[in-house]
Structure 1
Amino acid sequence: MTELSDVEIAADARRTVRVFLAAPSLRLTGPADGVFSLALRGRINAVREALLDCGVSVFSTHHDDVWTTRGVGTGMRVPSAFRAMQSADLAIAYVGSPLSAGVGMELGWATALRKPVVLLVDKAVAHSPMISTLEEVSPVLPLEFDTSWTDQQLRHTILTALDWADTSVAYPEAS
């Protein structure tokens, strides 16, 4: 994979996109409960950081309940995750196996609202029929999540997903 320079990443950081990050809930589990591993927690944090590095606003119920850009809240708190999905331009979901009930619900919202969806999936994991048929309802880009990616490779993957979403729907202009 070709490494991106900081200049290329900065040039692409002018996007005015709102991304809803759907993932198993960090708030409901702890590292010792066996449900949400520290490795998975690290992957979700890395995806959020890569999105922020790309200059987009991110909503993640696992981290906060406000739209965030590079660590700073950009507006009022969102009264519900559903409201955040309504105002999102794109949903990016980390899909594990078995599928988290919360992620399943958030993907249901995204497809009902006809949002483009990027699925970050683990290699060689069989997914439920719900996941494999999402593209019949909304534009879907499945991407294999490689745990050996560097931060820069993850950023490149996120930029690829954002570019794909640009061609799937036209984002509203910044106001």
Structure 2
Amino acid sequence: MSELLSDHDLVAADARRNLRVFLAAPSLRLTGPADGVFSLALRGRVTAMREALLDAGVSVFSAHHDDVWVTRGMGTGTRVPSAFRAMQSADLAFAYIGSPLSAGVGMELGWATALRKPVVLLVDQAVSHAPIIQTLEEVSPVLPLEFDTHWSAEALRHAVVTALDWADLSVSYPESA
């Protein structure tokens, strides 16, 4: 356990990044419990992703949790007028791609690619995804990460650190269009 804590401390100490991460995940504001997209298990996963991003030292916007940019230890920012405005000021879109694809996530990924934002996709390779997911790379820089289906803390931390390292390069040296 102490090894896990020291890894966490290293990530927190090393990762004070000046990135704004838009967490794209199914939201009850866009989907209802009757459509079967958003479950209690998914709520836990989205919350764990948000916490891992905050632990890594980035500002996070998650329409599921807040209507402000949040940074761990620094309080909350000012209210964001809309999720689209948050995406406009984001440096990176970090998306959980579930099955079936949520209409809200599809819309947020559409915004991200239209704005040429780097996109990190947490995907389960065993699931067939909608064509929109398969063609995102034609428009924006995309890092697909196969995610641990057990959603272990170690796998989540690894995915977040890998994504943020990649985003640092993508934001610093954007691909030419």
TM over 0.5: yes
Deviations along 1:9-65, whole A, 9 cap, x unmatched?
A: 1232311110000011144545x8744222111111110010001010000000010
| Equivalent residue number for residue 80 of structure 1 | 82
Residues 23-62 of structure 1 aligned to structure 2 (within 5 Å): 23-27=25-29, 28-30=31-33, 34-62=36-64
Q: Which fold has the larger relative contact order, with Cα–Cα distance below 8 Å and residues 6 or more apart in sequence?
A: 1
Match of 2:111 among 99, 102, 109: 109
1:166 Cα offset (Å): 1.2
| Equivalent residue number for residue 167 of structure 1 | 169
Contiguous gaps of at least 5 residues in structure 2? none
1:72 Cα offset (Å): 5.2
- What is the DSSP-based 3-state SS (H/G/I as helix, E as strand, rest coil) of the residue aligned with 1:76? strand
Q: Confirm or deny that 1:20 pairs with 2:11.
A: no
Given that residues 19 and 91 in structure 2 are in contact (C-alpha distance below 8 angstroms), is that contact kept between their aligned partners in structure 1? yes
Paired AA for residue 141 in structure 2? P
TM-score (norm 2): 0.86
Residues 121-136 of structure 1 aligned to structure 2 (within 5 Å): 121-136=123-138
1:149 Cα offset (Å): 3.9
Identity %: 78
d(CA) in 2 for partners of 1:73 and 1:60? 15
- How many residues are paired up? 169
Paired AA for residue 121 in structure 1? V
1:154 Cα offset (Å): 1.0
d(CA) in 1 for partners of 2:75 and 2:9? 25
Higher helix share: 2
Deviations along 1:122-143, whole A, 9 cap, x unmatched?
A: 2311011111000000000111
Match of 2:152 among 143, 150, 153: 150
More displaced 10-residue stretch of structure 1: 57-66 or 19-28: 19-28
